[in-house]
Structure 1
């Protein structure tokens, strides 16, 4: 891991060039959003992987009394061949972290990049071998859609996918036929909760950052903003000012068409468009903000990889929580406002990750697991929990001494003995004294027989 990390740092410019398929990216954004977090993930594994993967011996504490003489340990072993299906929005960071975690856990790794996104993974493979990884343990598959099905049919032991909910469903069906487990990081339509007392200008800056970062093609970019009615107009004005400085970003035609349809439907249902609804002839989009949106609108229930944001006025946070729950996605969420109230609200939000008074960036902490709920997937990647997901559990128990009473043939006194033992170990204070007497009688009777 150290050798790979050093090569990532020394050859960062090569990685930046390999990421040129991402439209409108500056060098600083590629470094901060993908390359630096990947290097940090490698450092995390250098420091923590050995300890996390080491066998864990269980002491006497918590061991049932009737298992006296038994020593136990829990081991973490590789699952085998791990297929990683990468996305197009972060073609280095997301499959890269998953790959190094799988390798650190002792697995063989296959990576299927998104179309046009294989270059970063090829570089990663070269540097892994230079750093000492034996040949054949990391392989980059071709970018065709059929590569996933071919790999599953050939035999894999686990799949990790980052992609849309529709892709996740289709791949999960294939995996089910082969009984192959998976970790799925799927779509999002992230909610932002604005508490009374939040700094409106700071919230607007944060939302503008979410619209700007990576062309807003981020699974945890803000899409639904729940704001108290008395603060809505101020946030709307501040957000329009901040969004005016965001440049256009190329958006694929099918996405633009879908956004246009959803936006027009929302306007027809009472929302106000603060910006231009995209047209077919425009290859790029400026941020589109819809005010006075309502949670039942389709725009707030679908995954969108484009700079679109809906402002939903609410009476209070109870209404906001109920409104947020109408979306099938539960990947991430953010809360802005006084920290104590924000922490309390965070505990009630149904999402895999919650940031307070920030957006997106804190999730790059290599110590943190990342994953969604409901239509946003299952399992986690990254952090200690993500590393352990690349393993399978084995328990080993060792019996010391020669005493093995359970090997003996059943005796009549065993019924009384077992009932007395149960009440002695787990009965209330009023039953234990009597249970102890009955247990001693049963043991004496068993000895005589």
Structure 2
């Protein structure tokens, strides 16, 4: 199937009907979807044979179930229309009452990623449908089975089949140019640039959830053993293919040797990871650059560890989506902040150390998701928006803000009949007064 204007037009045909469906009905369908998904928990691991089953359940299934529950409890309140009445109204707008409602964009194109092909597009798909949109889902290569499962469960739950279609994995460029009302991309910076180039031709609004090269700040007083364990977990999650995985670690010079010993020991206790051929090629190119610039590289438990990288920050400004960590010694956290500010990406960040100091530091970091004494895990909370800045994209998905982002505000302002009648009476009186004064002045001249 090729994607054309005709395909988009056919998708838009049920849009008017779907957006008129009451919110209570849409959420009842979400509840059915959640129950159906939960009943399939045993078979989900077969969709991802290269990943441990426990990781599939914790990284794909549980966050998607939690997102369903969030929508069931909060969507109606988040998308509820509001009224701007008398209180706070400007004095020069007497009798005007305005209503602000959230209307769906219409036909939404979701360009899904390959790293979490069930959870990430699943949340976006459900939020789009609950907001009243119809959806075309283009899975990444390898994500076809997850996309089919999502659509099948939607149909079994009672969603009309016409409100969601799955596009071929190789139809991205055609889909972007087809004239959708909103495009949501989860992908790399390179893909983001290509999508934006196509979207500008149709002036299609976009939401870009792109990659990150997340920094980790290790403050004085941090538990270095705990930091090492959390880093080993974060960099190994999903075989390193996590956009918000830690990569650039800043630690004080006086703590660096002890920290590296703990990190090496922790990684050595883990089973080795393996990357596909494309990932290995990207990693080999990065290793070559680092070593050619004077840095050192070693592989422990499938994780590539870069050391002696002081002064090489520009070489680390890359999102190659494989398990690597670079440990940079700094004199203090001011130097670390300065180095981080010069990077292109700003998706996530982690700070380990005393909470008061870490909280003050968090206010100076531009990343969209900041964890103190943890990493990655809090982003699975469905109440929280997720998005970045700089090369990590713009706009948000998930949480109330992500749900609102799938709608546009429409304002209807009404001037009351009483004010219209009163203004007419005042106008008639004013005309009579003006006419009387004119006649009086005319009599005086005669």
Structure 2 CA distance for partners of 1:66 and 1:205, relative to 1, 3 Å: same
Equivalent residue for 1:163, pick from 182, 187, 199: 187
Indicate the SS of the match to 2:312.
Answer: coil
Q: Is the contact between residue 19 and residue 91 of structure 1 (CA under 8 Å) also seen in structure 2?
A: no
Q: Is the contact between residue 212 and residue 246 of structure 1 (CA under 8 Å) also seen in structure 2?
A: no
1:237 aligns with 261
State the alpha-carbon separation in 2 of the partners of residues 321 and 232 from structure 1. Answer: 17
State the alpha-carbon separation in 2 of the partners of residues 234 and 446 from structure 1. Answer: 94
1:99 aligns with 125
Query: What's the TM-score once normalised by structure 2's chain length?
Result: 0.86
State the alpha-carbon separation in 1 of the partners of residues 373 and 305 from structure 2. Answer: 21
* 1:318 matches 2:347: no
How far off is 1:405 after superposition?
A: 11
* 1:178 matches 2:205: no
Superposition pairs of residues 27-66 of structure 1, within 5 angstroms: 27-66=53-92
How far off is 1:271 after superposition?
A: 2.2
Q: Is the contact between residue 82 and residue 107 of structure 1 (CA under 8 Å) also seen in structure 2?
A: yes
Equivalent residue for 1:369, pick from 366, 385, 389: 385
1:260 aligns with 284
2:154 aligns with 128
2:19 aligns with none
1:79 aligns with 105
* 1:357 matches 2:373: yes
* CA deviation vs aligned residue, 1:289-330 (integer Å, no higher than 9, x gap): 112213534441111211100001111111001111222111
1:415 aligns with none
State the alpha-carbon separation in 2 of the partners of residues 336 and 266 from structure 1. Answer: 26
Q: Which runs of 5+ in 1 are unaligned?
A: 277-284, 412-443
Q: Which runs of 4+ in 1 moved over 4 A?
A: 404-408, 444-449
1:282 aligns with none
State the alpha-carbon separation in 1 of the partners of residues 360 and 390 from structure 2. Answer: 22
Q: Is the contact between residue 176 and residue 195 of structure 2 (CA under 8 Å) also seen in structure 1?
A: no
Superposition pairs of residues 148-227 of structure 1, within 5 angstroms: 148-227=172-251
228-237 vs 247-256, which deviates more? 247-256
State the alpha-carbon separation in 1 of the partners of residues 255 and 421 from structure 2. Answer: 72
How far off is 1:45 after superposition?
A: 0.3
1:116 aligns with 142
48-57 vs 395-404, which deviates more? 395-404
Structure 2 CA distance for partners of 1:324 and 1:406, relative to 1, 3 Å: farther
Query: What's the TM-score once normalised by structure 1's chain length?
Result: 0.85
2:164 aligns with 138
Q: Which runs of 5+ in 2 are unaligned?
A: 1-29, 428-432, 439-446
Q: Is the contact between residue 45 and residue 52 of structure 2 (CA under 8 Å) also seen in structure 1?
A: no
* 1:14 matches 2:30: no
Superposition pairs of residues 339-354 of structure 1, within 5 angstroms: 339-354=355-370
State the alpha-carbon separation in 1 of the partners of residues 382 and 138 from structure 2. Answer: 23
Q: Is the contact between residue 296 and residue 326 of structure 1 (CA under 8 Å) also seen in structure 2?
A: no
Equivalent residues, number: 402
Q: Is the contact between residue 240 and residue 274 of structure 1 (CA under 8 Å) also seen in structure 2?
A: no
1:440 aligns with none
Indicate the SS of the match to 1:136.
Answer: helix
Indicate the SS of the match to 1:236.
Answer: helix
State the alpha-carbon separation in 2 of the partners of residues 113 and 306 from structure 1. Answer: 21
* CA deviation vs aligned residue, 1:90-119 (integer Å, no higher than 9, x gap): 111111110000000010011100012111
How far off is 1:81 after superposition?
A: 0.5
Indicate the SS of the match to 1:32.
Answer: helix
How far off is 1:445 after superposition?
A: 9.6
Q: Is the contact between residue 234 and residue 375 of structure 2 (CA under 8 Å) also seen in structure 1?
A: yes
State the alpha-carbon separation in 1 of the partners of residues 364 and 422 from structure 2. Answer: 48
